[in-house]
Amino acid sequence: MSRVGFIGLGIMGAPMAGHLIAAGHEVFLQSRSGVPDALVERGGTACSTAKEVAEKADIIILMVPDTPHVESVLFDDAGVASGLTVGKCVVDMSSISPLATKEFAAKIAALGCDYVDAPVSGGEVGAKAGSLTIMCGGTEAAFARVLPLFELMGKNITLVGGVGDGQVCKVANQIIVALNIEAVSEALVFASKAGADPEKVRQALMGGFASSKVLEVHAERMIKRTFDPGFRIELHQKDLGLALSNARQLGVSLPNTATAQELFNACSAAGGGAWDHSGMVQALERMASHKIG
């Protein structure tokens, strides 16, 4: 069994850490919002700082919201870097900037430690079920070292390439998911305003080329008006911001990604930053003066 640190115990981090504890690993826990009592009761050990986690664990996993949070957790005075010794491994499962990831990895490597970026897809449902998709960047040796832990949290686990490539893959994933949500939203608003039953339309489309996980899961959310996250709009905004800013640096145009971001922006302006990202449909509903549900 491994000595594992887990920092960031939010909607997804807490169940992910729970799977590691359930498998018998010695898990050291820290989160800015506090360590849930349920994880300690199941056998996890609460720590007061990220440095303490790094001192006690051999593999340290981060699952925090954004690039600045990762930088702070790693490099603040009581951060992970200050508690590392040669041979340990840092795994960032957050979704952050690919360019910043490479910078962070270089600093950790200078301390004689491995670094793997391993952002995930699957949301709260996947985190609880242990069925996340995990997109990894790092050396083959580092990946092999942490793979047994990933297998407790996910099902589709891929070493995409070197450090940073996992984050590139996650940004691509978020582009696809956002555009699928936008497409499903448009289709259901159109169908509903034309007088068709949106649930019957959804059922019919599930049998053809229009079928997708978004149509299966998020279309149902849209129809039933269940917009509790899930995956918050404000986090998807962050991911599309990464896509658009990195695209500018690469000289790539992402016109539909920019449109999806504007729809998310409209939802946030209406107080919906904490809605599930399927709530994008509400921006289109306002433009159509029609609700599908």
- SS3 state at 262: helix
Q: Are 5 and 54 in contact (CB under 8 A)?
A: yes
Provide DSSP, 39-81. Answer: HHHTT-EE-SSHHHHHHH-SEEEE--SSHHHHHHHHHSTTSGG
d(CA 62, CA 24): 19
d(CA 116, CA 138): 5
**Would residue 185 be called left, alpha or beta, if left means φ above 0 and alpha means ψ between -120 and 50 degrees?**
alpha
Marked catalytic residue, from 170, 200, 224, 238: 170
The continuous run of DSSP H or E covering 134 comes out as strand 132-137
Residue 200 is encoded by which pair of tokens? 């019957």
Instruction: Give the total residue count for the chain.
Output: 293
Nearest to 120 by CA among 267, 15, 259: 15
Rg value, the chain, Cα? 20
Let me know if 224 is a catalytic residue: no
d(CA 280, CA 220): 13
β-pairing, 132-137 with 120-121? antiparallel
| CA 208 vs CA 181, 203, 286: distances in Å | 17, 10, 29
Task: List residues with catalytic annotation.
Answer: 170
